[in-house]
Amino acid sequence: MDTSGAARATLDSVSAQAARHRDSLEAFRKGDTVRAPFAQAESPRSLDIGVPYRWDREAILESGANTLADLLERVPGALGFRVAWLVDQETATFLGDFRRVRVYVDGLPFAPPDLRGGGVLDLTAIQLWQYESCTIERGAGELRVYLRSWRVNKTIPYTRVDVYTGDLDANTFRGYFGQRFGPGFGLQVAGENLSIAQSRQGGDGSRRAGMMRLGWAGGRWSIDAFQEFASHFRREQARQLPQSAIPTLSPSASMSYLRVAWGDPDEGTWGQLLASTSAYAQDASEIGGTIDTTRRFDARRAQYALLAGTAWRGIRVSGGVRALSFRNQSFTSPQLRLGYEGGRLAVQAYAERATEDSTTRGDVTVRLLPRPWLAVSASYGGSRVSDTTGRRVQSLASRAELGIRVRPELWLTGGLLRRDSAWVVAPTRYDTLLSPALTGPAQATFVGLRGRIHDELFADIIGLQWDQAGAYRPRYQTRAELYLKTRWLHRFPSGAFGLLLSIAHEYKEPVQFPNRGGTPFTSGFSRNIVTKLEIRILNGVISWQWRNVAGEFMDQVPGALLPRANSVYGVRWEFAN
């Protein structure tokens, strides 16, 4: 018997099978190839003790946050104000000051020229569903929020659909599509349509928003054009005060940029050049004052930025300059960031000069780990701003924090927040009778427990007490969340199943809103219980969120009663084929 021939035949058969396998694998690889990613903005290193205030795309969705205010309220010293749960105007303060919360989108300051806002940012204008990460940097006297827009890097089409419905005829639909082509080109589009009806006190409305990206990336180079846009309609909302209702609002806003980039801010030396334009339109009758009520107010501004940075042996340096053109005026604003991380010591310094509002800001933060179970953090800084008379006012702030590791991934923290006297602007979008105020020095103590308690059980708990109640800050404020998050891998090792079950309790004492009448308006107690359930099966997630479970009557803006028990449920489904 010719065993050698049989062996050769067997070997040829095995080789043929292997070749077919390689061809199939190569075809699969050609069908699903990872391309060089589009550029991303700088996101600062976290010097927080324990769990950082950073969320990736999946964590944003799992958090249950409808708007940025829901994420900000997890930070000691931050406080959000809302008049509804979905289509509403949301604002937030840090240390009792609205201007101490600043937002950057892909490295560019987010500040639409909204005349009715009185310099206070409407956080509903920031659509979290468009972003792939959110980082909150805690400075001594302000919170800086860094958002990175959603990107794709695969040549197979990516599609996702979100469909939600709920009480008060709340309906939301979102659709996503993204794909990379050929040697590095890519296209992304996404859109949202949201509507809600509330016949009892008004405040219902709708929102239509979208984003688009077109670009190319190869090696360390990237060039992309990006645009996001949104239009809102919010009907007048009745208030339990005789002075006024919250008026109708129907603005539209857009932001677009062209970016040329080299390198990655997360991986060493990098540089970016951006040219951006933003627009904001609003019915003049909604702005008030002496503006002609028969026309529509339309504002546009251009912004240019040159940003760069590098890292070497634990030292990080980044900075740049921004040029802003608005209403035939031009402003130039430099910024600089220095950082060092090595062993048990981490230091970070930030400085900025914003010439458009003549504000200088800066702070230094230090974190020390003397023992694996012990951490100490401190931050000091402040700002110089102009009050309504044009006088320069300096306000310093500081934070001291101590952390103890009680379990491998669970930290117990506590500390002090302090700020000097500050000139606080008024959120006139709620009521034109509200007025700016000069508030005195304030100090608060806080405690927190964040991280993994045991296996798949987690906690996110903070409590804060000010020395006394003041403008836009309550005496006491707490937020406590316990949640179970598991993939049940011993039963579903492929990760095809997931479960998230959460319950949170939010409590705020009454808050004062200074006004021109002299006696401040005051909100009531706010007690809110929120539950969330998510079940993942393969690439689909069934979600149900229930706010104000106890059906409490409460207002966070004086006289504007929040809807009672409100649930939203639906599904989000990802496809890659």
Stronger pLDDT, 240 or 566, i.e. the higher one = 566
pLDDT value of residue 31:
55
The per-residue pLDDT for range 209-227, each reduced to its tens digit, is 999 999 999 999 999 999 9
Looking at the predicted structure, is the pLDDT value of residue 14 above 50? no
Compute the distance between CA of residue 432 and CA of residue 444 in angstroms, rounded to an integer.
30
The per-residue pLDDT for range 243-270, each reduced to its tens digit, is 577 777 788 889 999 999 999 999 889 9
Looking at the predicted structure, is the pLDDT value of residue 292 above 70? no
Looking at the predicted structure, is the pLDDT value of residue 308 above 70? yes
pLDDT value of residue 5:
44
What is the 3 state secondary structure string of 325-357?
A: EECCEEEEEEEEEEEEEECCEEEEEEEEEECCC
Q: What would the two tokens of residue 483 be?
A: 């949640």
**Stretch 389-393: mean pLDDT:** 66
* Contact (Cβ atoms closer than 8 angstroms) between residue 496 and residue 511: no
pTM of structure? 0.90
Angle at 205 between CA 201 and CA 208, to 5 degrees: 165
Looking at the predicted structure, is the pLDDT value of residue 201 above 80? no
Compute the distance between CA of residue 380 and CA of residue 122 in angstroms, rounded to an integer.
28
**401: confidence class by pLDDT, cuts 50, 70, 90:** very high
User: Among 165-169, 267-271, 291-295, 452-456, which is the least confidently predicted range?
Assistant: 291-295
Looking at the predicted structure, is the pLDDT value of residue 10 above 50? no
* Contact (Cβ atoms closer than 8 angstroms) between residue 127 and residue 112: no
Compute the distance between CA of residue 304 and CA of residue 278 in angstroms, rounded to an integer.
11
From 189, 101, 193, select the one nearest 141 (Cα to Cα).
101
User: Among 383-387, 474-478, 480-484, which is the least confidently predicted range?
Assistant: 383-387
Looking at the predicted structure, is the pLDDT value of residue 239 above 80? no
pLDDT value of residue 293:
43
**What distances in angstroms separate CA 503 from CA 48, 537, 544, 548, one per listed residue?**
24, 22, 12, 11
Residues in CB range of 40: below 8 A, 6 or more apart: 106, 148, 151, 264, 265, 266
Looking at the predicted structure, is the pLDDT value of residue 291 above 70? no
CA-only gyration radius of the chain, Å: 26
pLDDT value of residue 8:
40
**40: confidence class by pLDDT, cuts 50, 70, 90:** very high
Stronger pLDDT, 517 or 31, i.e. the higher one = 517
Q: Give the pairing of strands 143-149 and 101-105.
A: parallel
The per-residue pLDDT for range 63-109, each reduced to its tens digit, is 888 889 899 999 999 999 988 877 777 899 999 999 899 999 999 99
Q: Give the pairing of strands 345-354 and 560-561.
A: unpaired
pLDDT value of residue 23:
39
Looking at the predicted structure, is the pLDDT value of residue 299 above 90? no
Mean pLDDT of the chain: 86
Amino acid at 225: A
From 490, 497, 495, select the one nearest 537 (Cα to Cα).
497
Q: Region of 31 please: left (phi>0), alpha (psi -120 to 50) or beta.
A: alpha
Percent of the chain residues past pLDDT 90, beyond the cut: 56
The per-residue pLDDT for range 117-127, each reduced to its tens digit, is 667 888 888 88
Helix (H, G, I), strand (E, B) or coil at 228: strand
**Stretch 453-476: mean pLDDT:** 94
User: Among 16-20, 185-189, 248-252, 455-459, which is the least confidently predicted range?
Assistant: 16-20
Looking at the predicted structure, is the pLDDT value of residue 15 above 60? no
Helix (H, G, I), strand (E, B) or coil at 21: helix
Compute the distance between CA of residue 199 and CA of residue 538 in angstroms, rounded to an integer.
39
Percent of the chain residues past pLDDT 70, beyond the cut: 87
pLDDT value of residue 196:
84
**What distances in angstroms separate CA 554 from CA 84, 169, 198, 359, one per listed residue?**
11, 21, 16, 36
**391: confidence class by pLDDT, cuts 50, 70, 90:** low
pLDDT value of residue 83:
84
From 156, 159, 162, select the one nearest 35 (Cα to Cα).
156
User: Containing H/E element for 532?
Assistant: strand 526-537
pLDDT value of residue 379:
97
Domains and CATH numbers, the chain: 33-576 (2.40.170.20)
Compute the distance between CA of residue 203 and CA of residue 209 in angstroms, rounded to an integer.
19
User: Among 80-84, 279-283, 498-502, 547-551, which is the least confidently predicted range?
Assistant: 279-283
pLDDT value of residue 56:
93
Q: What would the two tokens of residue 138 be?
A: 């805690």
Compute the distance between CA of residue 53 and CA of residue 415 in angstroms, rounded to an integer.
17
